[in-house]
Amino acid sequence: MSDLKKLEEDILKAVDAAEDEKALEDVRVAALGKKGSISELLKGLGKMSPEERKEMGPALNGLKTLVGDAITARKEALHDAAIEARLASETVDVTLPVRAAPLSEGRVHPISQVWDEVTAIFGDMGFTVEEGPDVETDYYNFEALNFPEGHPAREMHDTFYFHPKEDGSRLLLRTHTSPVQVRTMEKGKPPFRFIAPGRTFRCDSDQTHTPQFHQVEGLVVDETTHMGHLKWTLETFLASFFETDNVEIRFRPSFFPFTEPSMEVDVRCARLGNEIRIGEGEDWLEILGCGMIHPNVLKSAGIDPERYQGFAFGMGIDRIAMLKYGIPDLRAFFEADLRWLKHYGFQALDMPTLDGGLSS
Ligand code: PHE
């Protein structure tokens, strides 16, 4: 009997010591498998005398049941422990702050934002978007726009010229987006209604001028287009852009070789220290140049000025961006300072639309 007791103790000790399911299975096979210690003892029952069998039978079967139960219990405990360990190792601390994803970190530059806003507004008014090259010929930048060779108005443009070519002609960086007027008109047939946003260049630099800046050109040509259309177009655009109902503008006579008459447009505003509020107050702020397209420009584009007429305007994108978003220094636009961009920039997926909101 003490042998059986010893066997029982040994097996139960081994069960307890089994660290994983594999080790436990080895213990089971060693005790209850075909050649296991308990199985071997059970096999010996047949050879015993009836008295011996009467005593050993229940004792061995009891041991078999006891060991079987102990193994089952240990197996469950090991299984639970394995799950616990896995859960512990895969824990996610949901209280940690969310790590910023590139999408939420990135910003759209105010110039790109305003460019998109302007395009959304004029797109809604039925204007298409046209483009021209940054490197221009003298012809498109000046000549075709009624600036003849030697015309003093050329001097007003502080042009960046490239080295002269062998034939004496010189390429230049376009000083305004107006070259896109003739480039676009000569490719098509009237009526025209387009804008042309783009990069422009002048040799100039101070708080409100940078050598590279942005303009948006606008042009409408049809048989009966007149100054009333121009005024309505500008008022409607400015109200939409500045997101206010009270835009008031005034025309001041001006001069551009490619328009006749030529006007500069001021918008009513209030100046409160550094802040400028459009649509209220007693001040006026110059905002763009415009006019009725000069017949010579239509002729350059192969259009009969006896039949067609229209208006054009040119506006500084950087300038209206500064006004709308209260950005005091133009030069910061071009400095690529991430802190500045974080402050003045826009969320990447907030596309400006008229129904969804321009700047919100
Ligand atoms: N191109 C002019 C400028 O840069 C602006 C302008 C455009 C004026 C179209 C009239 C018509 O100052």
Confidence of residue 79 (pLDDT cuts 50, 70, 90): very high
- Calculate mean pLDDT across residues 48-71: 89
Domain of residue 271, residue span: 110-344
Q: How many domains does the chain contain in total? A: 2
Alpha carbon of 328 to ligand 1 centroid (Å): 24
Predicted confidence (pLDDT) at residue 156 exceeds the cutoff of 80? no
pLDDT tens for 42-52 read 888 888 888 88
Name the residue with the closest Cα to ligand 1, atom 5. Answer: 314
Same domain, 120 and 217: yes
- Mark whether 139 and 7 lie in a shared domain: no
Among 39, 57, 89, identify where a domain stops.
89
Query: How large is the average pLDDT for residues 191-202?
Result: 97
Region 71-80: mean pLDDT is: 92
In a domain, 248, yes or no: yes
Arithmetic mean of pLDDT over the chain: 91
Question: How far does the chain reach from its first CA to its final CA, in angstroms?
Answer: 89
- Mean pLDDT, residues 271-279 taken together: 82
My answer on whether 36 and 166 are in the same domain is no
The reply to whether 103 falls in a domain is: no
In angstroms, what is the C-alpha Rg of the chain? 43
Look at residue 159 and tell me if it is in a domain: yes
301 shares its domain with 240: yes
**Do 77 and 120 share a domain, yes or no?**
no
> Do residue 122 and residue 206 come from a single domain?
yes
Q: Which atom of ligand 1 is nearest to the CA of 177?
A: 1
Ramachandran angles phi, psi of 304, nearest 5° = -75, 110
Q: What is the mean predicted confidence (pLDDT) over 282-298?
A: 95
SS3 content of the chain, % helix, strand, coil (to 5): 45, 20, 35
Residues 164 and 207 in one domain: yes
Strands 309-316 and 283-293: antiparallel
* Mean of pLDDT values over 80-100: 87
218 Cα: distance to centroid of ligand 1 (angstroms): 9
Q: Using CA atoms, how far apart are residues 197 and 128, in angstroms rounded to an integer?
A: 11
When pLDDT is cut at 50, 70 and 90, the band that residue 351 belongs to is confident
Question: How far from 198 is each of 56, 144, 277, 355, CA to CA, in Å?
Answer: 102, 19, 26, 25
How large a percentage of the chain has pLDDT more than 70?
99
Question: Do residue 197 and residue 339 come from a single domain?
Answer: yes
Residues 80 and 120 both lie in one domain:
no
The reply to whether 320 and 214 lie within a common domain is yes
Amino acid 275: pLDDT: 77
Please tell me the distance from the alpha carbon of residue 312 to that of residue 193, in angstroms, as a whole number. 10
pLDDT band at 360 (very low <50, low <70, confident <90, very high): low
Do residues 201 and 159 both lie within one domain? yes
Residues 191 and 63 in one domain: no
Residue 115 alpha carbon to ligand 1 centre in Å: 17
| pLDDT(1) > 70 | no
State the average pLDDT over residues 72-97. 90
Residue 241 covered by a domain: yes
Whether the per-residue pLDDT at 307 is higher than 90: the answer is yes
Q: What CATH number does the domain containing 278 carry?
A: 3.30.930.10
247 within domain boundaries = yes
> What global pTM score does this model have?
0.72
Flag whether 67 is in a domain.
yes
Query: Which residues have C-beta atoms less than 6 Å from ligand 1?
Result: 176, 178, 217, 256, 259, 289-291, 312-314
Does residue 356 lie in a domain region?
Answer: no
Residue 99, pLDDT score: 79
In a domain, 99, yes or no: no
The answer to whether the beta carbons of residues 265 and 291 sit under 8 Å apart is: no
